[in-house]
Chains A and B, each alone.
Chain A
Amino acid sequence: MVHRMQNISLSIIWKWILLLSCFMLYLGSRQEEPVQPVLAAAGMQAAYSIAVFSRSSARKLSALMFAGDLLVQAYLLWMTGGTSSPFLLYSLVSLAMIKLHVRWNWYYIASCAYLSLIPIIFAAADGIEISIYIANSHTYLMLCFLFFIFSLAVHHGVQKITHHIRLMTSIYISRPLPLQSSPSAAVEYVERALKTILKDRPLWLCLNTSNLEPEDQSWIHAYYKNQLMLQSPLNHKTNLSLVSPTGEALDMLVQPLRIRSGRKYGWLLIAAKKGELPLFDQMYTKLILMKFEAYFDMNKQVKEIQYKAVANEREVVAQNIHDGIAQELFFLSIQLFQFKGMLQTKSSEELLSMVSEMEKRVKESHGDIRKLITELKGEKRRFNLNEAIEKMLHRIAGSAGVDLIFENAGWTSKENVEIEETIYHFIEEAANNVIKHAQANKLFVRLEVTSVQWTIVVKDDGVGLKNNGNLEQQGKFGMIGMSNRIKALEGSISVHSDDGRGTRITATIPRERSLTYV
């Protein structure tokens, strides 16, 4: 309502300005003409203005005033030169204000009627044939034409803007993504929202986070994700040609997704040719993605907190068992041991076997308890390999001021803890060697996993090894230990180095079990 009032007041001010300037024009050109019609128009407009501004008056009254104003203006036009009156522009602007009182369809009907009636009535009043009268009113026809063009342009623009505002509002107020639901639910939700905006264009939101379980993604998402992982890493929105599962080449707009910290967590694929997606659609896509990113960030934090809480609780339970039952059992086992020793010298076979049995039981429970403690404590050791390695490398490289390039390719849901531990320690050892001995500026680490093996490459641009990495040299750097651990997992390790040209250590470890998508 306030908005509408502002519009009306603004247009009334305009009308007054126009009326005044037209009046000046009128006075300047024909001094001897009467000024009464102008005064009448001014009077009518004043009445209309008062009707609008006095808030107590009904809308109907101001509409009525408006109609009266239009009639007075027709009279004004008639008195000041008909269709070539200097007040024509003023009159058209007043006519455009009908929109403030009616809807668009009524606006067109009313203005058409008004503008066509004026020359008809004027011609009739002057006793001239209508066709001749109209043929002589060039300015009038021209202004009418401009009036309708202007009206159509405004109408179209308003409609467009309203449409976009509606879309934006619907994105803004749409249901917040439920925290902790599985990623697949959130992905589905976002895809649906995007499809609504992009008019059912095919699109896929492929996540590439390390803690993704296979059931969190549909096969087609995994398919496209694997295809994208083989490409060189994307940093910006790019148009790519990807192969669909049925073998067709598809033009895709690929947008890498990042969380607020800048780390990439996946891609959005939209089936679109270069430049096909309108700018507004791209903006809305961005808005929806922002919402998803916020969800993703929040969910991650919640999961971390949850994980920490569980780990803490388990730690407490483990500590309690360790401090309580485990110690009691230790004590009990020693007591039994001594008791047995005493019995052996003094007592019967039967009693001895009974004590042996008790001893066995205590030993068993002791073992169980130990396993339980390890299991409970072990929970905190379950870690995400990629993240752990990245963190460790940043720590090592950061403290030594060496540039780090860490790449990882491929995806696996689960891996044997021993393999993970070996990979972690191998990279740690190798990176430490680079920092300590290589005098390098750059450290390059690549971790790649396929369905059959892990490949780890640690490269530097330092001084290199003098003997092209023979075992003695490696041994000095504690690499034999690592080499043994990798060989124990049936892997292999090779060192290549030219004097002064850096060192490249490559390790491969076969995977225990394959679980990937084609």
Chain B
Amino acid sequence: MFKVIIADDRPHARLGLRMLLSASPEYRIVGEACNGTEVLECCKRLLPDLLLTDLKMPGLSVIEGAERLKAKDANMKIIILTALDECEDIYKAAKAGVDGYFMKDTDPGQLLSAIQCIMGGAKLYQTKENIDHAQDRWNAHAGK
């Protein structure tokens, strides 16, 4: 059973994620947050296994928050869900140590299996191109 925190400034989006995860018994939603600062507080208090968060929220920048959270607890998985399609953000997110980056129009079924993969230790970043290509670009950019 994984403890999950959902963060999004739109109540509808949080509700959607809650519905999506509640279908799978291995996830238990322990908290919700609606801005960057709340995300940090929630994570400090509830120590989740997974943080599922929107990219653009009021308050502290999510990428900066992710970097801090990862520095404290590298085992905590962080997945960013966004409606924006900006390559730069993926690079930044990957540099910050985020484990997954998906568009919100990803098929919910695929999203669930992707989350499962990430909980198993994978790192997945999705752009408008396919995931493999994104990984290549990231590697190229980071010079790894």
Contacts and interface: CB of A to CB of B under 8 A. Distances in A.
A335 interface: yes
A39 B144 CA distance: 111
B103 interface: yes
Interface string B103-120: 111011100000000000
A481 B137 CA distance: 9
Interface in B1-45: 8, 10, 12-13, 15-17, 19-20, 23
B143 A479 contact: yes
Interface in A301-329: 322-323, 326-329
Nearest to B107: A363
* Residue among A326, A335, A363, A482 with most chain B CB within 10 A: A326
Given A366-B104, A481-B141, A485-B141, A338 B23 contact: yes
* Secondary structure dominating the interface of A: helix
Contacts of B139: 481, 484
Contact of A334 (B16, B86, B142): B16
Interface string B98-135: 00000111011100000000000000000010000000
Interface in A37-58: none
Contacts of A327: 8, 10, 12-13, 83, 104
Interface residues on A, range: 20 to 34
A331 B15 contact: yes
A478 B141 CA distance: 8
A333 B108 contact: yes
Contacts of A367: 105
A337 B143 contact: no
Interface residues of B, number: 29
Given A481-B141, A484-B140, A370 B85 contact: yes
A329 B12 CA distance: 10
B46 interface: no
A485 B84 contact: no
Given A331-B12, A481-B140, A363 B105 contact: yes
A341 interface: yes
Nearest to B140: A484
A377 B84 CA distance: 9
A279 interface: no
A341 B23 contact: yes
A337 B109 contact: yes
Contacts of A326: 83, 104
B86 A323 contact: no
A485 B83 contact: no
Among all A-B residue pairs, the 7 with the closest Cβ atoms = A366-B105, A481-B143, A337-B108, A478-B143, A331-B16, A326-B83, A484-B140
7 contacts: A322-B56, A330-B83, A333-B107, A335-B19, A370-B105, A371-B85, A485-B141
Interface of A: 322-323, 326-331, 333-335, 337-338, 341, 363, 366-367, 369-371, 373-374, 377, 425, 475, 478-482, 484-485, 488
